[in-house]
Chains A and B, each alone.
Chain A
Amino acid sequence: MNSGAKRWLLVAVAAAMAVSYFSAQFNRYYLGIAIDIGINIILAVSLNLINGHTGQFSLGHAGFMAVGGYTAAKFTLELQTISPPWAQPLLFLVALLLGGLLAAVAGLAVGVPTLRLRGDYLAIVTLGFGEIIRVFFQTTEAFGAATGLTGIPHWTTFAWAWSFAALTVFVVGCLVSSTYGRGFIAVHDDEVAAGAMGINPVRYKVTAFVIGAFFAGIAGGLYAHHKQFLSPGGFDFMKSIDIVVMVILGGMGRTAGVIVAAVLLTLLPEVLRGFADSRMIIYSLLIIVLMIARPQGLFTFGRKAAGKA
């Protein structure tokens, strides 16, 4: 069962590459949406580790995404001219990992002092953090200030986006399904009882936060090399809310549900494109209706309960 997970990851990455190989034949618009979906899966599944499995309430995911996005974009913009063309995939990989790493460091910096706080305080602090990050990029000349960064190479292919989506699902899934990972869910269920069972709640919360931030950073880098331009406005509070909605709608802590929600909520605005101005209103209303109708999440696939996973 355990080595099955690794095999699954390899197959998923291979499939992403195979699809990507034929991507020239796809409609560019649909291909773009498919990449959006991949990126949103990374965001939603990684936030699900924090908000769903571990039971925190973070509103800072767009902030971590921004850290990763700007870092990766700046890195490629500086180095692409002096690096040989054959090194491009390597350069991109390093850019993404660097973005993820810096986002993780940001996660650690925010997480360590604040994860002792209760849920709603954490929500406020992470919200504030997201805004600070946004304002930082908005006012820093080196990152293009209010205009943002432009001319980022279009390196995010279907393969890149979906391989990292598969990796995110793999990492979160493997963590949570192990005996070690019961700790995340134990902390979610009851912090006091978790402590009494020898589980260090703060440690698990920080771990979830840092891993979640890392993948948000990766998603940011993919996003930057997909849209080819970054503006601080793209990482505002609403972006964080969008991801939170995916997690809630997917059913907190249920990876499969969160993936489906990420797919649907990426498609929904596209489907509603025809409604022009009223699009956002319809989108918001639909979400409100869904939340009221299914507060436990749209998709209640049972979490594997028994010992055999």
Chain B
Amino acid sequence: MNASLLQLEKVTIRFGGLTAVCELDLQIGAHELVGLIGPNGAGKTTAFNLITGVYQPTGGTIFFQGQPTANLKPHQLTRRGIARTFQNIRLFASMSVFDNVRAAVQLHRPHGIRDALWRGRGFRDGEKAVETQVMELLEIFKLGRFRAANARSLPYGEQRRLEIVRALATQPKLLLLDEPAAGMNPTEKLELTRLIRFIKDKFQIAVLLVEHDMQVVMGICERVAVLDYGVKIAEGTPAELRANPKVIEAYLGAEAR
């Protein structure tokens, strides 16, 4: 295998008569920031669901770190290093901000049910370490002051940020962001752009970004793939895409009009 972290080979999924994603080829390197764009219903979220194991492809293969991911469940893929956020925020509604992140830390901990009951020394130290780890993450992303608040009571932008923090708590190698800028005002968007760059550098991970806001995508992505009706119609640097007539027609044109 080559050095790519994630590789999609002719990945297809059909829902009844609808081909939501069609023979998609896509590669992401270990520290790359790649964009995935396309009009509504183009299959972007479906591509995420395929990569994270929510759906199994009807055709083609997905490799993560050189291993095929067929038949792996979402939680197993997260364990291997794929984390994601959701287009419609899916925080744990009955938990605090702190506990949302804490729940995500569980997967790398050796402590299971027996320790939770016996509560020996190792367990207590472990729980303390988790607390520190969660607080650190929250502080980095300026959510520390909300730690005790219910997750769903946060302002919208903060909820999106918390979802990113929660995904990072699983210690991913690849982070999938599904429209993180949706519903944000221009200032928040600018901040988000900085945040994504910061995450990529600080945590040394790859990011695949689905986003409708062209400024965000073109501003930070090194490479962008364009989907239309499930088919990849173009791929290249932001500059290349701006000059591509197919892309302009399918997507950018709609905005320019």
Residue ranges of A at the interface with B (Cβ–Cβ < 8 Å): 2-3, 5-6, 171, 174-175, 178-183, 185-186, 188-190, 192-201, 207, 253, 303, 305-308
Cβ contact of B147, chosen from A182, A188, A306, cutoff 8 A: A306
CB distance from B253 to the nearest CB of A (A): 34
Interchain CB contact under 8 A, A307 and B135: yes
Beyond the given A3-B119, A305-B99, could you list 12 further A-B residue pairs with CB under 8 A, ordered by the A residue number? Answer: A2-B124, A178-B127, A180-B115, A181-B116, A182-B102, A190-B91, A192-B74, A193-B90, A198-B79, A199-B75, A200-B75, A306-B96
CB distance from A148 to the nearest CB of B (A): 35
The residues of A that contact B104 with a CB separation of less than 8 Å are 197-198
Q: List 5 A-B contacts (CB under 8 A).
A: A174-B117, A179-B105, A180-B116, A185-B103, A196-B84
For residue B94, CB closer than 8 A to chain A, the reply is: yes
| A174, B116: Cα distance in complex, Å | 6
What residue of chain A has the Cβ atom nearest to residue B95's Cβ? A185
CB distance from A257 to the nearest CB of B (A): 14
| A36, B131: Cα distance in complex, Å | 40
CB distance from A167 to the nearest CB of B (A): 10
Interchain CB contact under 8 A, A306 and B75: no
Give a binary string over B70-107; 1 marks a CB under 8 Å from any A CB, 0 the rest: 00011100110001101000111111101100111111
Residue ranges of B at the interface with A (Cβ–Cβ < 8 Å): 52, 54, 73-75, 78-79, 83-84, 86, 90-96, 98-99, 102-107, 109, 111-113, 115-117, 119, 123-124, 126-127, 130-131, 134-135, 147-150, 166-167, 169-170
In terms of DSSP, what is the predominant structure of the interface of chain A? helix
What residue of chain A has the Cβ atom nearest to residue B86's Cβ? A193
| A200, B92: Cα distance in complex, Å | 15
Identify the interface centre among B52, B73, B127: most chain A CB within 10 Å of its CB: B127
CB distance from A89 to the nearest CB of B (A): 23
Interchain CB contact under 8 A, B52 and A180: no
Cβ contact of B148, chosen from A6, A190, A198, A305, cutoff 8 A: A305
Interchain CB contact under 8 A, A189 and B92: yes
Interchain CB contact under 8 A, B113 and A179: no
